[in-house]
Amino acid sequence: MKYYLSFCLLFCLTYCAQAQKLHVEYEYIPSAMATFREQVYYIDAMKTAVRDSIPVAPTAGDADNASDEISADFSMMLNTGTNYRRIVIQKSGERDLGETRSLQGKNYLVMDKFPVIEWNTNYTETDTLGKYICHKATADYRGTKLIAYYTNEIPVPAGPYKFGGLPGLIVMLYNEGANPHYWLLKKVSYPYNGDIPVDEKYIYSLPKLLLEDYVKKDEVLIEEQMRIMESKMPVMEGVTVERNKVRGTVEQVYEWESGKRK
């Protein structure tokens, strides 16, 4: 009993001593057309990232956003049914990462055996973003090259979405390509006294899918929509359309596909 009590006390003290409660907000910009807010909570080495399901409304007077609306008139959106918030839960020391994703309007908990990101921090390049002096780091990640800028001034290995593991907080991150997805740090608050607005019970009660199964199911649906579109496009002599070369996410090639996709 004595041992048990002292263990409990030790555990609590440990807990108090290591509690780093950090809340950061990123702007996630998947294209010039839309910007989403992403809240990241880093508490006790557990990271929870919550991305809004609807884009940031254009603020009055922001001419650029207004012209995004004009372009939006002529663009098409894949019909994916109801959109939910995207939540990523990453626990320290665990390779499995849980992410909520929706499929035809239904929400799932998608389990991702997340690969270790091997960052190359051997860059002398620095950049001042906001007030922070940021250092460059790069990594190969699921068929794309990540470029991150982190700050040593906030020594927390956190970042947006599934990313982190750098010596400091990620201030900006994007993937190299013609369709870069950008994450820009907008707000930092420490210590964070609020709760994480995520009902873990609900998350873990969602139907579970392995990432591989989810991606395959999702792409069957996208493929069908692309076929529908192709079937309505004008025919040009001797031209065949190349489909599905690029995924609309940062992740382009998954581990189970290595060698299959170019």
Is 193 near other proteins (CB under 8 A)? no
| Stretch 60-89 residues interacting with other proteins (CB under 8 A) | 60-61, 63-67, 69-71, 73-74, 76-79
Q: Which of the residues 96 through 115 are near other proteins (CB under 8 A)?
A: none
The residue whose two tokens read 């090259």 is 145
CB of 207 to other proteins, least distance (A): 25
Written as six digits, the tokens of 70 are 């004009």
Nearer to other proteins, 180 or 206 (CB): 180
Question: Cβ of residue 94: shortest distance to other proteins, in angstroms?
Answer: 13
Q: Which residue has the tokens 């929509």?
A: 225
Q: Is 231 in the site for other proteins (CB under 8 A)?
A: yes
Cα–Cα separations (whole angstroms), residue 115 to 94, 95, 165: 11, 8, 12
CB of 104 vs other proteins, minimal distance in Å: 14
For residues 188 and 244, give the distance between their C-alpha atoms in angstroms, rounded to a whole number: 38
Pick the closer one to other proteins by CB: 63 or 116: 63
Half-sphere exposure of 153 (CA within 13 A, CB side): 12
Q: How many residues bind other proteins (CB under 8 A)?
A: 87
Residue 190 found at the interface with other proteins (CB under 8 A):
yes
The pair of structure tokens assigned to 170 is: 């990620």
- x/- binding map, residues 9-48, to other proteins, per CB under 8 A? ----xx-xxx-x-x------x-xx-----------xx---
Taking the least distance from each CB to other proteins, the nearer of 125 and 195 is: 125
Do the strands 21-31 and 34-43 form a parallel or antiparallel pair, or are they unpaired? Answer: antiparallel
Using CB under 8 A as the binding rule, the residues of this chain from 201 to 220 that contact other proteins are: none
Report DSSP state, residue 255.
Answer: G
Alpha carbons 77 and 7: distance in angstroms, whole number: 55
State the minimum distance, in angstroms, from the CB of residue 84 to other proteins.
18
Binding of residue 54 to other proteins (CB under 8 A)? no
Binders of other proteins in range 153-182 (CB under 8 A): 153-157, 167-168, 171-172, 174, 176-180, 182
Instruction: Output the DSSP codes for 94-141.
Output: -SEEEEEEEETTEEEEEEEEPPPP--B-----EEEETTEEEEEEEEEE
Distance CA 113, CA 255 (A): 9
Q: Which tokens sit at 174? A: 């994007």
Told to check if 121 binds other proteins by CB under 8 A, we report yes
Residue closer to other proteins by CB (options 22, 109) is 22
